[in-house]
């Protein structure tokens, strides 16, 4: 019965929501090729990566590289971002796998029911900021408007990702496995701050064909209040 319930909740992640979409929900996965506990979370993340109502971002970290395998997709800044979340939440340690939903809810490991509930809870909240993106040559035009009272200083961020990257892992805890990773992030940039009192209208360089994601997040690693992506 337990396996049946787990399968049910995992399947629920595939279902397109029936309620109106306010804004996409951002799910960040902190993972590592050298972590034996990560493949189930990577697989769960893969199940939601293509949904239109979710912006799924895989941030590979480097702090497990010493145990036998160097993660080819890791960026030290990803671990810095994860540590900043932990500090803001009063946690003393970081770990993999961890999913953070809209900068608010953290989920340890591969837990389909908790992830589904966290996504549903965020989708039920009215959008605080609406973000629109438009490509223009090798640039992206970013516009945003606060639909509620501005929460104060917000950070405008842009990140690119590759939809699928494959790794043949020959050493470490996952030795002998070939794993396909979804939405592997790269080139995370801070574009500036915005107070929400006037509409935002800026242009950012975005050469190449990789997907573009813009996040607007309360300063101090607070909630993600607005997001959009161009695939």
| pLDDT tier for residue 22 given thresholds of 50, 70 and 90 | low
Please enumerate in sequence order all residues whose Cβ is within 8 A of that of 154, keeping only pairs 6 or more positions apart, or say none.
129, 193, 194, 195, 196, 216, 217, 218, 219, 225
Task: Please name every residue paired with 33 in a beta bridge, in sequence order, or none if there are none.
Answer: none
| pLDDT tier for residue 5 given thresholds of 50, 70 and 90 | very low
Of the listed ranges 3-12, 121-130, 139-148, 181-190, the one predicted with least confidence:
3-12
- Report d(CA 19, CA 13) in Å as an integer: 14
Average pLDDT (74-98) is: 96
Helices of type H across the chain: 2-12, 38-48, 76-89, 112-123
| pLDDT tier for residue 18 given thresholds of 50, 70 and 90 | very low
- Report d(CA 194, CA 204) in Å as an integer: 15
Helix (H, G, I), strand (E, B) or coil at 47: helix
Residue 83 pLDDT more than 60?
Answer: yes
Residue 172 pLDDT more than 70?
Answer: yes
């Amino acid at each position: 019965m337990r396996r049946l319930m787990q399968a049910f909740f995992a399947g629920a992640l595939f279902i397109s929501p029936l309620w109106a979409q306010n804004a996409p929900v951002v799910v960040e996965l902190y993972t590592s090729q050298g972590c034996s506990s990560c493949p189930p979370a990577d697989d769960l993340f893969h199940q939601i990566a293509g949904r239109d109502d979710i912006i799924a971002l895989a941030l590979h970290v480097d702090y497990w590289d010493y145990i036998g395998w160097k993660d080819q997709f890791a960026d030290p800044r990803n671990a810095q971002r994860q540590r900043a979340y932990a500090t803001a939440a009063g946690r003393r340690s970081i770990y993999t796998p961890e999913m953070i939903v809209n900068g608010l809810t953290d989920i340890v490991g591969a837990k389909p029911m908790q992830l589904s509930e966290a996504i549903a809870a965020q989708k039920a909240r009215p959008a605080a900021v609406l973000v629109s993106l438009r490509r223009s040559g090798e640039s992206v035009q970013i516009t945003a408007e606060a639909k509620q009272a501005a929460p104060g200083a917000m950070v405008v961020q842009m990140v690119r990702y590759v939809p699928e990257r494959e790794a043949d892992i020959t050493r470490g805890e996952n030795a002998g496995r070939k794993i396909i990773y979804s939405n592997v992030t790269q080139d995370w940039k801070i574009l500036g701050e915005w107070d929400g009192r006037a509409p935002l209208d800026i242009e950012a360089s975005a050469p190449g064909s990789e997907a573009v994601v813009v996040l607007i997040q309360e300063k101090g690693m607070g909630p993600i209040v607005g997001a959009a992506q161009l695939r």
